[in-house]
C-alpha cells in the first residue's frame, strides 16, 4: 500500500519489503524513495529517526521488520544515484545512492584510479563512507575529498576530509544522512587500472563465497587488548575470520544460516533461512571465539530489529559480563 505524494511531497509506502544481500528478513513499516535533498528533508520532518538503506549489502533486517520510516537513496533517476566529474583532474562528485560496484569499472574505463582496490565490496557510496569500507587493497577514505550530508534537523552541511574521523570501519558520519561525496581519483592508464580491478576481483572470488547469499564480513577484525599467544601481541589487529576458523566454527549452522567453509567471517543463507538463524549463529560464533581466545567480536553487519534481546546477542558481552581481551 502507498500514499500518493502531493506536489512538493514524497510518496510513502506502507509495509514495504526491503532488499538485502542475505535475501531474507522483514520489511519496513513505512518506506520512501526521495529523489533529491529537499524530499529527503521532508522525510526527516515526517520521521527524524528514519533509517537509510542503500544496496542492502551490509544489512540484516529481522524477520518481524522494523518500525518507522526507511528511505532508499539509490532508486533509478534519483539525484542521489548520480556520478559526474567536477573537473578534468579526477575530482568526481557521486551521490550516496550510487553503487560502488558500478562506479569502479566505469572509473577504470575512464582512466581514473584510486578505487579499483575496492572491487568486490558490495555497497552504495553512502554506506561505504559511513563504515569506511575497505579491505586488503585500500579503503574508501583514501580518496575522499569532502562529504555532503543532512543533519537530523534537516540542515545541509559539508565536511572536508580533515573534519571526518575515518578509522578502521568507522567514520563518525553515522549520526548524519550522507547525501553525496567528492572523490579525488587519479588519472592513469585505463588498461592498467582495469587489470588491477580484475586482479582484485579474482582474489575475492578465490577467497570469499562471492556467488552465495551473504552480506560480506560479519565481524570486524579486533584489536587485541592483551597478548594472544601464537597469534599476535597486545595492540595488534587480527583477522576475525582466522579466530572464527580456529574456534572450530567453519561449517557451523543454525537453521538455514551457515559459516562459510571458504571464509569463516562470512555467513551464507539458504532459501529457507530466517534472519533469526543468522542472528543466533552470529551469537554462537561470538561465544565460541570468546571461550577460545577471550576476544569479543564486534559485528560489522548492521542488524535492524524491533527486539532488544536479539541485538543484545550481537552487542552484549558473550561471556555474560565485562572484560575480555578485545
Q: Which residues are catalytic?
A: 169, 217, 300
With contact defined as beta carbons under 8 Å apart, do 60 and 302 qualify?
A: yes
Angle CA(124)–CA(125)–CA(126) in degrees, nearest 5? 90
Half-sphere exposure of 5 (CA within 13 A, CB side): 15
H or E, element range at 195? helix 190-207
Separation of first and last alpha carbons in the chain: 46
Q: How far apart are CA 34 and CA 310, in angstroms?
A: 30
Task: Give the whole-angstrom CA distance, residue 69 versus residue 40.
Answer: 11
Cell 552480506: give the residue. Answer: 215
Q: Give how far Cα 179 sits from Cα of 88, 129, 321, Å.
A: 23, 11, 39
Q: Report the Cα 308 to chain-centroid distance in Å.
A: 21
Beta strands in 206-308 (DSSP E): 253-254, 257-259, 267-269, 302-304
**Measuring CA to CA, which residue among 277, 322, 139, 124 is closest to residue 220?**
139
The 3-state DSSP class for residue 124 equals strand
Cβ neighbours of residue 277 closer than 8 Å, sequence gap 6 or more:
254, 255, 256, 257, 269
Give the angle subtended at the CA of 307 by the CAs of 306 and 311, to the nearest 5°. Answer: 110
Amino acid at each position: 500500500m502507498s500514499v500518493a505524494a502531493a506536489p512538493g511531497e514524497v510518496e510513502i509506502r506502507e509495509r514495504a519489503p526491503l532488499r538485502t544481500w542475505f535475501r531474507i528478513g522483514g520489511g519496513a513499516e513505512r518506506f520512501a524513495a526521495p529523489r533529491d535533498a529537499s524530499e529527503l528533508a521532508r522525510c526527516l520532518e515526517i520521521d527524524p529517526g528514519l533509517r537509510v538503506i542503500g544496496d542492502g549489502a551490509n544489512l540484516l533486517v529481522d524477520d518481524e521488520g522494523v518500525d518507522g520510516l526507511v528511505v532508499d537513496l539509490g532508486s533509478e533517476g534519483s539525484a542521489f544515484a548520480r556520478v559526474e566529474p567536477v573537473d578534468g583532474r579526477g575530482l568526481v562528485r557521486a551521490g550516496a545512492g550510487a553503487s560502488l560496484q558500478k562506479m569502479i569499472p566505469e572509473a577504470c574505463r575512464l582512466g581514473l584510479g584510486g578505487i579499483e582496490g575496492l572491487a568486490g565490496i558490495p555497497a552504495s557510496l553512502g554506506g561505504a563512507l559511513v563504515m569506511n569500507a575497505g579491505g586488503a587493497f585500500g579503503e574508501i577514505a583514501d580518496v575522499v575529498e569532502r562529504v555532503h550530508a543532512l543533519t537530523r534537523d534537516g540542515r545541509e552541511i559539508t565536511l572536508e576530509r580533515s573534519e571526518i574521523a575515518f578509522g578502521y570501519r568507522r567514520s563518525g558520519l553515522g549520526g548524519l544522512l550522507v547525501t553525496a561525496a567528492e572523490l579525488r581519483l587519479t588519472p592513469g592508464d585505463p588498461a592498467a587500472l582495469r587489470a588491477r580491478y580484475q586482479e582484485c576481483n579474482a582474489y575475492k572470488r578465490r577467497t570469499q563465497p562471492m556467488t552465495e547469499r551473504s552480506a560480506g564480513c560479519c565481524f570486524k577484525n579486533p584489536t587485541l587488548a592483551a597478548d594472544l599467544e601464537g597469534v599476535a601481541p597486545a595492540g595488534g589487529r587480527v583477522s576475525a575470520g582466522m579466530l572464527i576458523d580456529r574456534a572450530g566454527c567453519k561449517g557451523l549452522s543454525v537453521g538455514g544460516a551457515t559459516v562459510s567453509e571458504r571464509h569463516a567471517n562470512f555467513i551464507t543463507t539458504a532459501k529457507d533461512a530466517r534472519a533469526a538463524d543468522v542472528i543466533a549463529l552470529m551469537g554462537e560464533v561470538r561465544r565460541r571465539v570468546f571461550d577460545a581466545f577471550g576476544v569479543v567480536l564486534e559485528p560489522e553487519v548492521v542488524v535492524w530489529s524491533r527486539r532488544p534481546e536479539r541485538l543484545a546477542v550481537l552487542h552484549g558481552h558473550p561471556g555474560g559480563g565485562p572484560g575480555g581481551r578485545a
